[in-house]
């Protein structure tokens, strides 16, 4: 059994294949057939044609017979039974080939053909001279006897059952292999019809596809069918039928070569059953994945809605919207706000992994200043590092000015690694950030290192998997979900790079990210971004911030009250609608300067409301900011497609909301 993929690269090589060809699995797996000249040169074009038709889906399965070269240079004849394998999406991923060594059969058949040709030619040449050449007749008869002896010798040495039949199919010669295959002796079958032994449901198919075409002179008819053994059981045969012509070109006999293919049929049945099992398993996995996405979406909404109130109200109180605060009150609010932000960070890490796992996390690639990004990332952890009296070492290769990457995601990767370095390094230690360029390979290497507690070899093998934390008591001493490094690994892969770790217990760690170093000049992404900016710039100018009217569409009382308290103090006039239907009614009465639209609402949700607003020319240019507590893969795209100008996920930072409103109104 052999499995190979689109590049003819071997993925499976059974022990039988080792016996046939001489190469071990270790010698061939991962290599293509061409690398070790498996195919005989005269047959290579035919083999490549069959392979192409299998891989492009023209043929779901195919049988080909060709010569192959073994490790010791010998040439053998093999029959390949090929079936395509597909993944859960129905795409062809590889071909499974069941291979049989048919060298003995082919050599016997070639000898038989030579005998048939010799017999016909000699009879034809000598018949006209029969009266005058009695001696020649004797030589012809002698040659015939020799050919018959040769044919019998070859057929008796073959493990396949070789037979001669008359035009009605009656056995007139049967090789000794019949005893091993069916349990009969040759004499028990000679003079009988094979139709007596065929499985009843196969008889008509055998007659139509093999017997009758062969009588018409059709060559090499191959058919599979069931035949009864002497003990009454049935076995599967594969039979090749060839016509044998007399000197006048008429079909005199039918020669058949049969082999037992029961094992192959069982293997194929097992493979089909396994394929069905895998299809059912894939369907179940897909269903489980959908349920997981739905669960995460619901949990995201349920967690973000109260967080929106906690963070929004605490932010408003810290800005003294509700009156002055004492120093102790400010400290307590800072703790509340910090804890809420920490919980939000954990939720975001889970959702980021869900997006990447679902294949729905798109990178927003653009030129990024590496020096600026590194300094901003270090600044994020600098205060925590100073509290532990850690020395920060920064080494940025000046050759690395800009790279094309998703700036937000790259910053997320660096901050994750730097935060871990600070967390796991004892007081008085050192952490560092290094960036080096490999101009020959057009790659950059980012290394975050520390002199901390280190990681055991056992933990290094799984540390980039989700929810994995260091063993022993460390997961009790250092808080965290075990998601940060998994997220770094997935984001690095999305950028076309890789991440690795070098570490030893109590000797620190080095996390190494390698990324492609793309040239930002004429970047398609940059062009697309500039075009998008130009498109947005063409939006009609709206009202400025002073006295601008805001329509808030939301069914959450806490959110409404928070914004009713906050926005008027920032100079905005605020009106409220509890669902999309009420929003459309209010638009008929008064045209706001900007709309804040929640997505999940009763009666009419935000997506439908935005579509209807954009469909009305009178309101099509009103800026809309979509607000949602879902934040799952595809939510942003759905909001923008429905007509939103921008998208903010709850909990919404009041400062960021204010900046977004001012930006959209200033256009």
Residue-wise pLDDT tens digits, 110-143: 877 777 666 656 656 655 555 555 555 555 455 4
Residue 611 lies in a domain: yes
pLDDT the model gives residue 412: 85
Residue 230 has pLDDT above 80, yes or no: yes
In a domain, 269, yes or no: no
pLDDT score, position 344: 76
Q: In whole angstroms, give the CA distance from residue 447 to residue 438.
A: 14
Q: Are 450 and 431 in contact (CB under 8 A)?
A: yes
Contacts (Cβ under 8 Å, ≥6 apart) of 13: 2, 23, 24, 25, 28, 29
The label of the residue with tokens 């997220």 reads 487
338-389 per-position pLDDT tens digit: 777 767 777 777 776 666 666 556 678 889 999 999 998 898 888 889 999 9
Tell me what pLDDT residue 651 has.
Answer: 77
Confirm whether 359 is domain-assigned.
no
Highest mean predicted confidence (pLDDT) among 167-176, 299-308, 628-637:
167-176
Task: Give the tokens for residue 171.
Answer: 């056995």
Residue 140 and residue 242 in one domain:
yes
Burial class (CB in 10 A: 0-12, 13-18, 19+), 575: middle
The verdict on 425 and 505 lying in the same domain is: yes
Which one-letter DSSP state was computed for residue 382?
A: H
- The distance from CA 23 to its chain's CA centroid, rounded to whole angstroms, is 30
pLDDT of amino acid 570: 87
Report whether pLDDT(632) > 80.
no
On whether both 112 and 254 belong to a single domain, the answer is yes
pLDDT at 515 over 90: yes
The pLDDT assigned to 131 comes to 57
Q: Report yes or no on 273 lying in a domain.
A: no
Query: Lowest-pLDDT range, 214-218, 449-453, 518-522, 524-528?
Result: 524-528
Same domain flag for 211 and 244: yes
Is residue 190 assigned to a domain? yes
Question: In the 8-state DSSP scheme, what is residue 480?
Answer: -
Cis amide prior to 651 (ω within 30 degrees): yes
Residues 165 and 249 in one domain: yes
Tens of pLDDT, residue by residue over 436-463, are: 998 888 899 999 999 999 999 888 888 8
On whether both 29 and 148 belong to a single domain, the answer is no
Q: Look at residue 458 and tell me if it is in a domain.
A: yes
Q: Is residue 377 part of a domain?
A: yes
Q: How many helices (H) and strands (E) does the chain have?
A: 22, 22
Burial class (CB in 10 A: 0-12, 13-18, 19+), 291: exposed
Q: Tokens 């005893």 appear where?
A: 179
pLDDT digits (tens, 9 = 90+) for 393-415: 999 998 888 999 988 889 889 98
Shared domain for 76 and 113, answered yes or no, is: no
Per-residue pLDDT at 292 = 73
CA distance 474 to 453: 10
Decide which of 505, 522, 539 is a domain's last residue: 522
- Select from 426, 341, 417 the least CA-distant residue to 377: 417
Residues 555 and 514 in one domain: no
Indicate if 300 and 447 belong to the same structural domain: no
Average of per-residue pLDDT across 572-584: 93
Kindly compute the dihedral angle of the four CA atoms of residues 101, 102, 108, 113, in this order, to the nearest 10 degrees: -140
Q: Which of 260, 291, 315 is the last residue of a domain?
A: 260
Query: CA 372, CA 400: separation in Å to the nearest integer?
Result: 11
Q: Which of 71, 101, 131 is the last residue of a domain?
A: 101
- pLDDT tens per residue across span 610-626: 999 999 999 999 999 99
Output the pLDDT for position 148: 52
Cα 627 from Cα 648, distance rounded (Å):
5
Of the candidates 546, 484, 495, which has an alpha carbon nearest to the alpha carbon of residue 517? 495
CATH code at position 489: 3.30.565.10
E runs forming strands in 490-637: 498-503, 509-516, 549-553, 573-577, 594-598, 624-628
Q: Structure pTM?
A: 0.42
Whether 318 shows a pLDDT value over 80: the answer reads yes
What are the tens digits of pLDDT across the range 45-56? 999 999 999 999
413 and 385 in one domain?
yes
The verdict on 159 and 64 lying in the same domain is no
Which pLDDT score, from 0 to 100, does residue 127 have?
Answer: 55
Q: How many domains does the chain have?
A: 5
Q: Cβ distance 28 to 8 under 8 Å?
A: no
DSSP assignment of 308-320, as one string?
HHHHHHHHHHHTT
Largest CA distance in the chain: 137
Which residues face 367 on adjacent strands?
A: 404
- Average predicted confidence (pLDDT) for the chain: 83
pLDDT digits (tens, 9 = 90+) for 19-74: 889 999 999 999 998 888 888 889 999 999 999 999 998 888 888 999 999 999 99
- Is residue 12 over pLDDT 50? yes
Look at the chain and count its residues.
667
What is the pLDDT at residue 71?
Answer: 93
Residue 631 has pLDDT above 70, yes or no: no
Is it the case that residue 476 has pLDDT exceeding 50? no
Structural domain range at position 558: 525-665
pLDDT at 379: 87
Burial of residue 19 (CB within 10 Å: 0-12, 13-18, 19+) is exposed
| Residue 638 counted as domain residue | yes
Whichever domain contains 567, its CATH number is: 3.40.50.2300
Euclidean distance between CA atoms 240 and 112, whole angstroms: 14
The CATH number of whichever domain residue 110 belongs to comes to 3.30.450.20
Q: Based on the fold, state whether residues 251 and 122 are members of the same structural domain.
A: yes
- Contacts of 542 by beta carbon, 8 Å cutoff, 6+ apart: 548, 593, 594, 621, 622, 623, 664, 665, 666, 667
């Amino acid at each position: 059994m052999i499995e190979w993929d689109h590049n003819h690269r071997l993925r499976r090589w059974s022990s039988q294949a080792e016996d046939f060809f001489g190469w071990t699995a270790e010698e061939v797996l991962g290599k293509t057939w061409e690398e070790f000249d498996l195919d005989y040169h005269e047959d290579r074009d035919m083999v490549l044609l069959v392979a192409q038709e299998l891989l492009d889906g023209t043929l779901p399965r195919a049988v080909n017979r060709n010569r192959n070269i073994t490790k010791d240079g010998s040439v053998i004849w093999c029959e390949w039974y090929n079936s395509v394998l597909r993944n859960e999406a129905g795409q062809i991923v590889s071909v499974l080939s069941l291979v049989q060594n048919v060298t003995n059969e082919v050599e016997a058949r070639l000898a038989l053909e030579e005998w048939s040709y010799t017999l016909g030619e000699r009879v034809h040449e000598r018949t006209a001279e029969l009266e005058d050449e009695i001696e020649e007749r004797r030589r012809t008869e002698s040659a015939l006897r020799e050919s018959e002896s040769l044919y019998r010798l070859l057929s008796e040495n073959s493990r396949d059952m070789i037979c001669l039949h008359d035009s009605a199919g009656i056995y007139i010669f049967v090789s000794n292999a019949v005893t091993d295959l069916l349990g009969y002796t040759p004499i028990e079958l000679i003079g009988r019809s094979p139709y007596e032994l065929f499985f009843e449901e196969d008889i008509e198919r055998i007659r139509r596809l093999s017997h009758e075409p062969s009588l018409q002179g059709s060559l090499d008819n191959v058919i599979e069918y069931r035949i009864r053994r002497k003990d009454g059981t049935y076995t599967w045969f594969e039979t090749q039928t060839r016509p044998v012509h007399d000197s006048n070109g008429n079909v005199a006999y039918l020669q058949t070569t049969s082999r037992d293919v029961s094992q192959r049929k069982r293997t194929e049945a097992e493979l089909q059953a396994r394929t069905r099992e895998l299809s059912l398993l894939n369907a179940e996995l897909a269903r489980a994945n959908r349920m997981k996405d739905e669960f995460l979406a619901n949990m995201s909404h349920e967690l973000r809605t109260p967080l929106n109130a906690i963070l929004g109200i605490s932010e408003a109180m810290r800005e003294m919207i509700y009156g002055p605060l004492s120093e102790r009150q400010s400290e307590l609010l800072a703790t509340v706000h910090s804890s809420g932000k920490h919980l939000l960070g954990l939720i975001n890490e889970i959702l980021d992994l869900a997006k990447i796992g679902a294949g729905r996390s798109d990178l927003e690639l653009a030129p990024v200043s590496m020096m600026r990004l590194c300094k901003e990332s270090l600044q994020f952890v600098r205060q925590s590092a100073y509290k532990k009296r850690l020395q920060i070492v920064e080494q940025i290769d000046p050759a690395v000015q800009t790279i094309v990457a998703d700036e937000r995601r790259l910053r997320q990767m660096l901050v994750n690694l730097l935060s871990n370095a600070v967390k796991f390094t004892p007081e008085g230690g050192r952490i560092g950030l290094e960036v080096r360029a490999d101009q020959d390979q057009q790659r950059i290497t980012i290394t975050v290192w520390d002199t901390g507690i280190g990681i055991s070899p056992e933990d290094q093998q799984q540390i980039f998997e989700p929810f994995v934390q260091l063993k022993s008591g460390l997961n009790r001493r250092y808080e965290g979900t075990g998601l940060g490094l998994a997220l770094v690994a997935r984001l690095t892969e999305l950028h076309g790079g890789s991440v690795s770790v070098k570490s030893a217990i109590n000797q620190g760690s080095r996390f190494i990210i390698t990324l492609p170093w793309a040239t930002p000049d004429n970047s398609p992404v940059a062009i697309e971004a500039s075009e998008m900016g130009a498109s947005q710039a063409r939006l009609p100018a709206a009202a400025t911030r002073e006295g601008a009217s805001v329509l808030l569409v939301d069914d959450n009382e806490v959110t409404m009250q928070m914004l009713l308290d906050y926005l008027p103090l920032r100079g905005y006039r605020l009106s409220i609608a509890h669902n999309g239907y009420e929003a459309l009614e209010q638009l008929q009465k008064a045209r706001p300067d900007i709309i804040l639209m929640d997505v999940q609402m009763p009666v009419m949700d935000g997506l439908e409301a935005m579509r209807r607003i954009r469909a009305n020319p009178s309101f099509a240019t009103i800026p809309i900011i979509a607000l949602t507590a879902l934040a799952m893969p595809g939510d942003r795209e759905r909001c923008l497609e429905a007509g939103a100008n921008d998208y903010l996920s709850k909990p919404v930072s009041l400062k960021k909301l204010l900046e977004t409103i001012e930006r959209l109104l200033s256009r």
